[in-house]
Amino acid sequence: MATPWSTAGHLLELIRTGQASTRGELQRVTGLSRSTVGQRLDQLFAAGWVEAVPGGQSTGGRPSLHLRFDPAHAVVLAADLDTAHAHAAVLDLSGRVLAEHTGELLLDEGPEQVLDELARRFAGLLAAAGIAPAAVCGVGLSVPGPVDQSTGVVVRPPIMPGWDGYPVPGRMQEALVRYAGLPAGVPVLVDNDANLMALGEQRDAWRDCSAFVLVKVSTGIGAGVVIDGRPFRGIDGGAGDLGHIRLHDAPDARCMCGSYGCLAAVASGRALAGQLSALGVASASAADVRAHLDAGHPDAVRLAREAGRRCGEVLVTVVTLLNPGVLMIAGDLAETHFVTGVRELLYQRALPRATRHLQVVTSRLGDRSALAGATAMVVEHLYAPDQANARLAAEDPNRLLEQAR
């Protein structure tokens, strides 16, 4: 009868997360016999998921061997879709980029055209990296809108016209078979961009932070929250939608969602572009705002700092409610006077109890954070114990029967 930590998938979890790195440690953690651990490891070795590498110095006898998850045995395709651009990449299972491409791709052209073009770009990247389509174990997509995790469907996205309710995973699978030669049925996972940025950044440098919040400020404003190592998405993917919290004193500011007074209508990159243009400073996008800030334009600096303070008004409530250890600002307005404004308002208005252990930081991974998060999402899904056991059983149906004895 199977017990906790008794299957090959559970042993893989212990190895992959660093909880055990030798056969002896696996025996101690699981309580399994040496022979049973050996049998389970044989399954993982045969699948190519685990490898034995030289460990620390030996005290005599045979050199010690350490077990590790092999990040090179498969690859992930990941893409970060913005309103007008796509950053696509092939990555190994540790998140190392093997090939990447950034270029214009307009979401308002609709899901069919966008997903077909994305599949063609993935095909080119696989060819450039010399990687066979059969090596792809999964696909992760980052999109600028709420996503229902149970279906992978985008739900009422304010800045993705034509995408509401569209079956993105299935359509992406079809396009990848047609244009990139992938086998049918390769898993496609979809999540909100801020969620994946938060996951990628938290896994990269803040694994010990049990309450992590990332705020992305670009065309719009959104947040990703990681609690106890897991993204918090709400009931249907709507958690973290900071940009559509209403401000009491901006009743005339019209948002892309159709409402008035939203934070994004006042403090996002799109909003700042409009404010600068009204002052005679040509700005069509958040990227233009960033360029003006980098050049030290006084109106851009003033407006960005004030936008940061307006965002800080909302973040006071977020910090008081969640008591995070890290609040990260990311996106086009990170590393600018926007962050100065956030810090000013936050530490001025929030109770000292809520901020005494808070670190307000900016992105470490930059424009690769969503790709890192998408890769982590795919790997942590496919190699979780139950999924891993099911995949092993698909290759050899007798394996689960053996593990259950």
Token reading at 384: 């979780």
Three-state secondary-structure class, residue 70: coil
Same fold, 75-195+369-382 and 207-365: yes
* Highest CATH level, class, for 75-195+369-382: alpha beta
Handedness of CA 68, 69, 74, 79 (dihedral sign): negative
- Using CB atoms within 10 A of its CB, is residue 294 exposed (0-12), middle (13-18) or buried (19+)? exposed
Strands 230-231 and 221-227: antiparallel
Taking the C-alpha atoms of residue 195 and residue 270, their distance in angstroms, rounded to an integer, is: 21
What are the pLDDT digits (tens) for 197-241?
Answer: 999 999 999 999 999 999 999 999 999 999 999 999 998 888 999
DSSP 3-state percent helix, strand, coil across the chain (nearest 5): 45, 20, 35
Q: Is 3.30.420.40 the CATH classification of the domain at 207-365?
A: yes
pTM to 2 decimals? 0.93
Handedness of CA 352, 354, 243, 106 (dihedral sign): positive
One pLDDT digit (tens) per residue for the chain, 405 residues: 455 668 999 999 999 999 999 999 999 999 999 999 999 999 999 999 999 998 755 555 566 789 999 999 999 999 999 989 999 999 999 999 999 999 999 999 999 999 999 999 999 999 999 999 999 999 999 999 999 988 999 998 888 999 999 999 999 999 999 999 999 999 999 999 999 999 999 999 999 999 999 999 999 999 999 999 999 999 888 899 999 999 999 999 999 888 999 999 999 999 999 999 999 999 999 999 999 999 999 999 999 999 999 999 999 999 999 999 999 999 999 999 999 999 999 999 999 999 999 999 999 999 999 999 999 999 999 999 999 999 999 976 454 334 433
Rounded to 10 deg, the angle between the 385-395 and 34-47 helix axes is: 70
Taking the C-alpha atoms of residue 341 and residue 308, their distance in angstroms, rounded to an integer, is: 4
The residues spanned by each domain of the chain are 8-49+386-403, 75-195+369-382, 207-365
Residue 64's identity, in one-letter code, is S
